Structure 1
Amino acid sequence: MARVPRKSQIYDGESFHLFWKCHNNNFLLEDDYIKRYFYKLLLKYSQKYNVKIHSYSILSNHPHIFGTLGKLNLFSQFQRVTNSMLAKEINENSSRVGQVVLDRYKIIPVREVEQQLSVMLYLDMNAVKAGLAGHPKYYKWSSYNYYAFGVHDPLLTPSPYYLALSGVQEKRMAIYRELIECKLIELKKWNVAKKQSSREDSNETLIKLL
């Protein structure tokens, strides 16, 4: 069996970006009740298995979690318990049977300090990219309002890189809001360019048909 590259492995005490998709890409997390149930599972078992969660985004067909694990074996138990209990609740709640999580979850080590902020911004922008909210502040199933406005969230342990942005909380929050606004501008420009490209492709196709 081929060895897993060092950069792809995760070790005790490391930070990670974890995500998985629902089976068949179904929207099994769409109901607010299920999102809340999953949130409570994360809250309960992250404490039990020594997993610090820095940032999260729970979408309708997949979640993203950025955190730091304690022991790898405990982290594996954390994932196994939360996923199995979530699957049981979804199946009972919707009168279905079968798999909920698509295959294995994916976990990416986050070793560079600068990567931490990039992952946080990515997670908090997810709902906007998915069309679930016009701005991260309107989506309650993410960590944005905690970092941008100081809204209490018992699930979260502040990211060390976020804390390093400033020694003053109000300034840290202002910086984070500004960074998100920059991401929103980038996304808007990308969407405009995509629409323009689509129109040009349509025009070229029409010309060829004439």
Structure 2
Amino acid sequence: MARLPRLNLPNIPQHVVQRGNNRQVTFVENIDYAVYLDKLKQYAHEYDVQVHAYVLMTNHVHLLLTPSTANGVSKLMQSLGRYYVGYFNRAYQRTGTLWEGRYKSTLVETDNYFLLVSRYIELNPVRANMVSHPADYTWSSYQHNAVGKRIELITEHALYRALGVTDQNRQACYRALFEKQIPAKTLADIQSATNKMWVLGSDRFKQQVEALAGRRATPIPRGGDRKSTTYKKQSSNQ
């Protein structure tokens, strides 16, 4: 089955996930995390991509990005991946691939999902039982968004800035969001949309993406009565 082209649209946030090949470690020492973030900052600037949230885990990364051009994220990830693999292989005297194939990504509807995805990303170390609170994890944008430690890499999204009139207000309001758990279904929706590279958002948003991208934004329904009017209508819209 032919692989659909990646959904890339300018000015729409993307949740990006890249994993180590066979779940192998991609960060060993603190310097590795620092090098990755430094190059992420460099290439984000070069390709005009805003970085709103991130977490660097031991064997994968999550990023929340907004590109100004359709191919900005692809160029950033290609350049970043090429540089970091070379660095990692030299540092640890190894050869071959580091990352697991193509990175995964999903377009994120801003109003309904942006802050949810940001929380989802920054809560990864807690879900992985690495820390008890996201503030205890160093390699995460929570340090900027909630704690107030300035990270030059981060560009604050308009939705985040609308949380308060001052930095302190915004950080307090953002921290308050973490007092409520993300519902299990929402977690599953975020994971599924990202891993399968569909769209995370309302039906209306998905329809808008399909119109702009010229390709479907949701999977083809499986099963059902192929002679029914509903099934034919759904199929004609794919």
Q: Does 1:114 align with 2:112?
A: yes
Partner of 2:158: 160
Q: Which runs of 5+ in 1 are unaligned?
A: 188-210
Distance in 2 of aligned mates of 1:75 and 1:67: 8
- 3-state SS of the aligned residue for 2:159? helix
1:40 CA displacement: 0.6
Change in CA separation of 1:36 and 1:3 when aligned onto 2, cut-off 3 Å: closer
Alpha-carbon separation, structure 1, partners of 2:30 and 2:131: 14
- 1:132 positional shift: 2.1
Name the structure 2 match of 1:37: 35
Q: From the superposition, tell whether residues 28 and 2 of structure 1 become closer, same or farther in structure 2 (CA, over 3 Å).
A: closer
1:11 match:
9
Task: Give the Cα–Cα distance (whole angstroms) in 1 for the partners of residues 158 and 2 of structure 2.
Answer: 35
What amino acid is aligned across from residue 137 of structure 1 in structure 2? A
Give the aligned partner of residue 140 of structure 2. 142
**Quick check: which one's helix share is greater?**
1
Aligned to 1:206: none
Q: 1:68 matched to which residue of 2?
A: 66
Instruction: Please tell me the residue identity of whatever aligns with 2:103.
Output: Y
* Corresponding residue number in structure 1 for 2:235: none
- Segments of 5+ residues of structure 2 without an aligned counterpart are 185-238
Counterpart position of 1:51 = 49
Deviation at 1:3, TM superposition (A): 7.6
Change in Cα spacing, 1:3 to 1:28, as seen in structure 2 (3 Å) is: closer
Partner of residue 88, structure 1: 86
| Shift of residue 67, structure 1, vs aligned partner | 1.3
Contact 2:33–2:139 under 8 Å retained in 1: yes
On the 8 A contact 1:55/1:66 being kept in 2, the answer is yes
Percent identical residues: 28
The answer for the alignment partner of 1:175 in structure 2 is 173
CA–CA separation in structure 2 for the residues paired with 1:35 and 1:99: 18
Count of aligned pairs between the two proteins: 184
Tell me by how many angstroms 1:145 deviates: 1.9
User: 1:179, 1:34 → 2: CA distance?
Assistant: 30
Give the TM-score of the pair, scaled to structure 2: 0.72
Matched, 1:98 2:100: no
State the match for 1:23 in structure 2: 21
In structure 2, relative to structure 1, the CA distance for the partners of 1:142 and 1:120 (3 Å cut) is same
